[in-house]
Structure 1
Amino acid sequence: MDILKIFGFGEGGWGLALLAGAGMTLLVSACGLLIGAVIGALVAWSRLSGNRLAGAAGEAYAALFRGLPELLVVYFVYFGSSTLLTTGAKLVGYDGFIGVPSFVAGALAVGVISGSYQAEVFRAAYLAIVKGELEAAVSVGMDRWLMFQRIIAPQVLRFALPGLGNLWQVALKDSSLISVTGLAELMRVSQVGAASTHQPFAFYVGGLVLYLAMTLVTTRLFDIAEARATRGMRRIAG
């Protein structure tokens, strides 16, 4: 089969399907990164809170999901969440099966994995804040919420951006594992196309090119965001 026809946008071409799969990959990765940011922030807070129980729970979470294979986490979230929902529904009298959509399960799986790493990024970013700034805020009577808005959150985000950029690339790659749930992301579309046309090399090279393009573009966007976030720091240093 002609390669140009395979990747074309006309009848029998897989161009649109591959682009749609790439879009789904970006969407599920972005949602996973956001879910991971929420989880990571909570875990980082638990480890910084000084509470032994909360700190131990945060450390256990991070150790567990860093140590497990990512594919196992995907299966655990995909099948486990459906099992839990079905079991809970039976307790209130519903006798049917409740399945979790592949997109939701995939984003949760990526988020659970990413959150275990983001926790350390946020914790390190918080510890990088000059303590004198926090002490000065307390000395002038600034309440905790206002201090969080004006001092902690902006600086944590600034210091965390390089690490978050690296974790975005990890989330982008981990999203390929979600193909086992049947979600039509880039890897799944490549697999289906390869099986349908008996041209595996062409489709996997096409998938490689799209993954590389997404990586290069999004890395550049993170670089721009990091440059803007640290612009004031460079001026002070200069």
Structure 2
Amino acid sequence: MTQPGILELLSFGPGGWGNILLAGATMTILIALSGYATGAVIGVLGAWAKVRGGPVTRLVADVYTTVLRGIPDLLVIYLLYFGGSAAISAVGRLFGAEGFIGFPGFLAGMLAVGITSGAQHTEVFRGAFRAVHPGEIEAAIACGMPRGLRFRRIVAPLTLRHALPGLGNVWQVVLKESALVSITGVAELLRQAQVAAGSTGLPFDFYLIAGGIYLAISTVSSTVLHRAERHFNRGVRRG
């Protein structure tokens, strides 16, 4: 019996795995985007705490970034998934439910990716804000700009300009972290590749295909981020 070729494996018809792999890739992108957005919100708050906060908020932000950058991402997923399941099961028993109640795998993965990437976002935003020249902010103050307008027209755009390269690196890390979410049972790309490999006995083929899909997503993302960098750097003289 001859083994099917790559085109047959990727077909969307009967016997093909194209639909399943496409669904897995879509789930991977959803997890990465939701986790990245969550991490960005945490990062903005963490950067504010480090730059403008008091001693207590700075300490909390420092502890958060130190701890989250020092422990494995997989451990964070385990803690959220199994810890959340234990908490939900305990609450369920109070209302008469029996047995184990699992924490939603997608939610656990999204939160884990967001919390871990939030530590990296924090440092990216903090460094980007520090890179804004004080004279630019002082000029806005001298023009009589209110604080809100000053932030919207001066501080936020300049900070984002400096942060974009770092944010692109964080996105690439988040995209790879999304593969770890498969341990919660979420049918993302790597999980679907594992299922296909086990069903067909062709692990090398499907893991190679999954690697190609990850690379394609990463390449498209890099192109979009590069264009965003060029947009925000319009009019900037390069040395």
TM-score (normalised: structure 2): 0.91
Which residue in the other structure is 1:220 paired with? 223
Q: Answer with 168-177 or 45-54: which moved more.
A: 45-54
Equivalent in the alignment of 2:147: 144
Find the partner of 2:75 among 72, 84, 99: 72
Question: Residue 61 of structure 1 is aligned with which of 34, 45, 64?
Answer: 64
Q: Does 1:195 align with 2:162?
A: no
Q: CA deviation at 1:95?
A: 3.8
- Whole-Å Cα distance in 2 between the matches of residues 141 and 83 of structure 1? 55
What are the residue-to-residue correspondences of 1:14-29 with 2, within 5 Å?
Answer: 14-29=17-32
- The 1-side partners of 2:158 and 2:90 are apart by 43
Q: Structure 2: which amino acid aligns with 1:115?
A: G
Partners of 2:53 and 2:107 lie apart in 1 by 34
Identity over aligned residues, as a percent? 48
In the superposition, the TM-score normalised over structure 1's length comes to 0.92
Cα offset, 1:87, TM superposition: 4.3
Q: Which runs of 5+ in 2 are unaligned?
A: none
CA distance in 1, matches of 2:88, 2:102: 8
Give the Cα separation in 1 of the matches to 2:126 and 2:9. Answer: 48
Residues 146 and 59 (structure 1), Cα distance of their counterparts in 2 relative to 1, 3 Å cut: same
What is the RMSD of the two structures over their aligned residues, measured on CA atoms?
A: 1.8
Unpaired runs of at least 5, structure 1: none
CA 152–86 in structure 1, closer or farther in 2 if over 3 Å, else same: farther
| Secondary structure at 1:80 match in 2 | helix
> How far is the alpha carbon of 1:19 from its aligned partner?
1.4
1:233 and 2:208 are equivalent in the alignment: no
Aligned counterpart, 2:182: 179
Residue 16 (structure 2) aligns with: 13
Q: Within 5 Å, which residues of 2 pair with 1:134-173?
A: 134-173=137-176
CA displacement, residues 133-165 of structure 1 (integer Å, 9 cap, x when unaligned):
222333344332222111111111111111011
Separation of aligned partners in 2, 1:157 and 1:95: 50
Once the 2 structures are TM-superposed, how far is the Cα of residue 14 of structure 1 from its aligned partner? 0.4
Given the alignment of the two structures, is residue 130 of structure 1 paired with residue 128 of structure 2, yes or no?
A: no
Give the distance between the partners of 2:75 and 2:31, measured in 1 at CA. Answer: 18
Moved more, 139-148 or 30-39: 139-148
Q: How far did 1:112 drift? A: 0.7
Deviation at 1:85, TM superposition (A): 4.2
Aligned pairs for 1:28-67 within 5 A: 28-67=31-70
Aligned length: 234
